[in-house]
Structure 1
Amino acid sequence: MARMLAFIIMLIPALMAGAGIKFMRDTLFGKLVAPIPWLWLQFILGIIFLVVGLGFFAGFLLHRDRKNGKIPPKVKG
């Protein structure tokens, strides 16, 4: 059960990053997604979703590797 919960927790930021890429792609092709009124706002939301999603995933991996001792002392901070 714990593995399933961890998978769901990691799936949410991955879907969020994917939505961010989709928003930015749609903006470049000039297609406006329904609840967002302006293209520039859609692009900004896409960047935010992408950065937050990837940042959460990268932070999780860094935390896990630090816990398992796989990070060299130079990077530990």
Structure 2
Amino acid sequence: MGRLIALLILLIPGCMAAAGIKLMRDTVFGVLNSPFQIPWLQGLAGLILFAAGLYLLGGFILYRDRKRNQVSERFKKKQNNRRA
């Protein structure tokens, strides 16, 4: 059940990134979609969607790998060694 939930969580940012790529592609070929009336605005929205989807997907994978201790030294969280 946990793997199914993880898959569903990963599908949302993946779909966001795919929609962003589609919007940017449509901007390059001059196809305007209904909510946008200016091509550069559609391209900017596509770039934002793609970047947000990639950020969420990468963050989820990094969090999971940190939890399993499968990342290199530079991606590990630094610990504070202060004593009270």
1:29 partnered with 2:35: no
Structure-1 separation of matches of 2:3 and 2:65: 17
- What whole-Å deviation, never above 9, does each CA across 1:24-59 have from its counterpart, x for those lacking one? 000000000011121111000000000000110000
Match of 2:46 in 1: 46
Displacement after TM superposition at 1:13 (Å) = 0.6
- Deviation of 1:17 after TM superposition, in Å, equals 0.3
CA distance in structure 2 between the partners assigned to 1:35 and 1:60 by the alignment: 30
Residue 2 of structure 1: aligned partner: 2
Q: Unpaired runs of 5+ in structure 1?
A: none
Number of residue pairs aligned between Structure 1 and Structure 2: 77
Alignment partners' CA distance in 2, 1:14 and 1:25: 17
1:4 offset after TM fit, Å?
2.2
Aligned to 1:61: 61
- Cα RMSD of the aligned pairs, angstroms, is 1.2
Please, which runs of 5 or more residues in structure 2 have no aligned partner? 78-84
Over alpha carbons, which structure has the higher Rg?
2
